[in-house]
A and B are shown apart, each in its own frame.
Chain A
Amino acid sequence: MGDTIKLIGAIMIFMGAFSLLVAAIGLLRMPDVYNRVQTGTKASTLGAIMAFVGVGLFKYESWGDGNWIGRVIILVLFILLTNPVSSHVLMRAAYFMKVPLSKMTKTDKLKEDLDNNVIKEPNHE
Chain B
Amino acid sequence: MINPEMIVYAAIGIFMLAMLLAMVRFVKGPSVVDRVVAFDSLTITSLVLISIIAALTNRMIYFDVAIVYGLLSFIGVIVVAKYIQKGL
Partner-B contacts on A (CB < 8 A): 3, 6-7, 9-11, 13-14, 16-18, 20-21, 23-25, 27-28, 33, 36-37, 40-41, 44-45, 47-48, 51-52, 55, 58-59, 67-68, 71-72, 74-75, 78-79, 82-83, 85-87, 89-94, 96-97, 99, 122-125
Contacts and interface: CB of A to CB of B under 8 A. Distances in A.
Contacts of B4: 3, 6-7, 9-10, 58
Q: Which bucket holds chain B's interface residue count?
A: 35 or more
B33 to A, nearest CB: 4
A122 B82 CA distance: 11
B63 to A, nearest CB: 5
B25 A27 contact: yes
Given A17-B15, A86-B81, A90-B33, 20 more contacts: A13-B8, A18-B14, A20-B44, A25-B21, A27-B25, A27-B38, A33-B31, A33-B37, A36-B25, A52-B51, A55-B52, A55-B55, A75-B51, A78-B67, A86-B78, A87-B37, A89-B78, A90-B81, A93-B81, A125-B86
Interface of B: 1-2, 4-5, 7-8, 10-12, 14-15, 17-19, 21-22, 24-25, 31, 33-34, 36-38, 40-41, 44-45, 47-48, 51-52, 54-55, 60, 63-64, 66-67, 70-71, 74, 77-78, 80-82, 84-87
Given A40-B40, A89-B77, A58 B55 contact: yes
Given A13-B8, A27-B21, A99 B40 contact: no
Q: Classify the interface of chain A: helix, strand, loop or mixed.
A: helix
Given A9-B4, A36-B34, A51 B52 contact: yes
